[in-house]
Amino acid sequence: METEASNSTSFGRRSNRVVPCRFHNHNGCFKGVNCTFSHEPDSRSYPDQTGRNVCLFFLRDKCKYDNKCVYSHSKEHLPAGGWWETDEGKQQFEASLVAGGSGAAAAATTSRPWTGAGRPKKPMRRFSNDYMSDDEGVLGYSSRDVNELLSQGVKPWDDDADDVMGAISGY
């Protein structure tokens, strides 16, 4: 389901939203400007002619997330003759990232921060602390979900908390 609002993204607008909107980049976001996730291109994406953000890792044949990636994996609406069409162009693009030495170079060559790939894993316990507990946590969220929501700047009682959890979980 795509609305006119999802196509009216202003690329010049700066936003404090960090996590890209999976729906905008795939099938279109019905929330448009009211969406709590970012619709703007960032250092890990390239905007196509429809306004969706195409994964730079996909364009370089290096995306490990496949269909779970928050960015589009379609070259259909990209301009013809781009650097992504030849191996030489891909090599020149990567060389320009390294030569630039900017934060964008590091961002475009490393894993995405919102996936938790860089965080050390906590050791699993044999039994959870709340084993046999009737407490369901805050508003039905587990303590892990509450911490994840709070780290995204969303309170569990906010109206869009379910949407944020869905995007974080990949639904």
Alpha-carbon distances of 167 from 84, 93, 109, rounded to whole Å: 28, 30, 23
Whether residues 117 and 135 share a domain: the answer is no
**Is residue 148 located within the same domain as residue 167?**
yes
- In sequence order, the 6+-apart residues with CB closer than 8 A to the CB of 76 are 48
Closest to 40 (Cα-Cα) out of 49, 29, 52: 52
DSSP β-bridge partners for residue 38: 20
pTM of the model: 0.50
State the residue range of the domain holding 170. Answer: 125-171
Same domain assignment for residues 79 and 146: no
SS3 53: strand
CB atoms within 10 A of CB 101: 9
Q: How confident is the model at residue 37 (pLDDT cuts 50, 70, 90)?
A: confident
* Tens digit of each residue's pLDDT (9 = 90 or more) over 154-164: 888 888 888 88
For 165, the enclosing helix (H) or strand (E) is helix 161-169
Q: Which of 106, 121, 136 lies at the terminal end of a domain, its last residue?
A: 121
Q: Is 38 helix (H, G, I), strand (E, B) or coil?
A: strand
Residues 139 and 116 in one domain: no
Per-residue pLDDT at 38: 85
